[in-house]
Amino acid sequence: MPIFDKPATAASRYSFLDDYSEGAHPALLKALLASNTSQEAGYGNDAYCEVARQRIRRHLGRDDVGVFFVPSGTSANAISIAACLRPHEAVIAASSGHIVTRETGAVEASGHKIINVVPHNGKLTPATIQRAMEDNWHFPHMAKPRLVYISNATEIGTIYTHDELAAVRRCCDDNGLLLFLDGARIGTALTSRVNDMTLRDVLELTDIFWIGGTKNGAFLGEAVIVKDPRLASEFEFYVKQHGSLLAKSRVMGTQFAELFHENLYFELALKANLAAEALSDGISAAGFSVSATTETNQVFAILPLGLIKTLQEHFIFYVWEKRGDDAAVVRLLTTWATDTEQLEKFVGLVREWVG
């Protein structure tokens, strides 16, 4: 007997809309089940969070960093930024950054100005950061730039190479700036075909960053990594004040313990990337171009409007922007859970259209 009947509104078409359409990976569910009856201390002091922190630290290669679990990417960003800044300090971010375009002004709600810069292929560069510094020097009449926000993978699926991130780091050092990395999709970034960084490199090159669970197999949860011991020692206050210190943090602890048990986290991300590659290759093989190289789990393909209409009969995805009168860019997201059959059906329809 079902808990409740399949709700009428449930999607009947397969979705390539985003990377949070599914529930949790079965291994995480199983861990949740196994842990369910044990009594645990609240607010992150439970045994599962402790194991998760140890396993994450092992992956990071350092015992002495703070690891904090929060329920959402917006809370991870807002808390981290508020914890790092004095009231008059500002953030430098790409105008395409998630904190700029998709978080309802949460950073500003905590009192901080975001200085927008134009991204290059979704990324910040030393030159654009330097330019932002030069445009914001008129003190004390301007907020003082103090933290650079970047995302890896970026909001359009591109990634930073080691050289690129190291250059940003140097630029930050030269300008007295902290470097904060939004890792909502750090798994797909670090398992990208074109990636040359490890999690340890990210730790070394940034001041604070987070590892996204929600978009890589968990029901919820992001792990914020705090290097500065003084900041780490008070970080829970910020988490609690933002309403993000869950009484049953064990729910996040269990899942992260599982994700960082051996290499599961990166295996799931790699699956998402490979699915994207397959989609991208299939579309290219049929003679259509992609509007950006597929580096992670986002495919941007330019398709004729007629084909898009046909595809929409079977699939859900974003039509991103028009290209001329007869075509448009569509965005397709894949995950660890992407159904291979559905993927092949999609590519098949593309091929048929040409055919």
Which residues 99-118 are close enough to bind a second copy by CB under 8 A?
Answer: 101-106, 108-114, 116
Q: What angle do CA 102, 106, 108 make, to 5 degrees?
A: 115
CB closer to a second copy out of 39 and 355: 39
* Token pair belonging to 95: 């105008």
Are 292 and 331 in contact, with CB atoms under 8 Å apart?
no
Could you say which of 177, 257, 279, 308 contacts a second copy (CB under 8 A)? 257
Among 57, 123, 242, 331, binds a second copy (CB under 8 A): 242
When the beta carbons of 288 and 336 are compared against a second copy, the nearer one is: 336
Residue 108 or 201 having the CB closest to a second copy: 108
User: In terms of CB distance, is 113 or 169 closer to a second copy?
Assistant: 113
Restricted to residues 288-317, the positions that interact with a second copy (CB under 8 A) are none
Query: Between residue 7 and residue 46, which ones bind a second copy under the rule CB under 8 A?
Result: 7-11, 14-15, 17-18, 20-24, 26-27, 29-43
Site for a second copy in 148-187 (CB under 8 A): none
Judged by CB under 8 A, does residue 88 bind a second copy? yes
| Residue 261 CB, nearest approach to a second copy (Å) | 7
Residue 341 binding a second copy, by CB under 8 A: no
Among residue numbers 201 through 220, which ones bind a second copy (CB under 8 A)?
214-215, 219-220
- Whichever of 203 and 330 has its CB closer to a second copy, that residue is 330
Cα-only R_g, the chain: 21
CB of 139 to a second copy, least distance (A): 7
For residue 217, what are its two tokens? 């197999």
Distance separating alpha carbons of residues 9 and 320, to the nearest angstrom = 24
Residue from 200, 119, 197, 187 nearest 153 by CA: 187
**Is residue 251 part of the contact set for a second copy (CB under 8 A)?**
yes
Binding to a second copy (CB under 8 A): which residues in 44-73? Answer: 47-48, 50-51, 70-73
H or E, element range at 203: helix 199-205
Residue 197 or 251 having the CB closest to a second copy = 251
Cα angle, residue 51 at apex, residues 77 and 37 outer, rounded to 5°: 105
Q: Work out whether 250 is an interface residue with a second copy (CB under 8 A).
A: yes
Rounded to an integer, what distance in angstroms lies between the CA atom of residue 255 and that of residue 259? Answer: 6
Give me the DSSP letters along 105-137. Answer: THHHHTT--EEEE--BTTB--HHHHHHHHHHS-
Q: Under 8 Å CB-to-CB from 224, ≥6 apart: which residues?
A: 66, 67, 68, 69, 70, 76, 79, 80, 208, 209, 210, 235
Residue count, binding to a second copy (CB under 8 A): 101
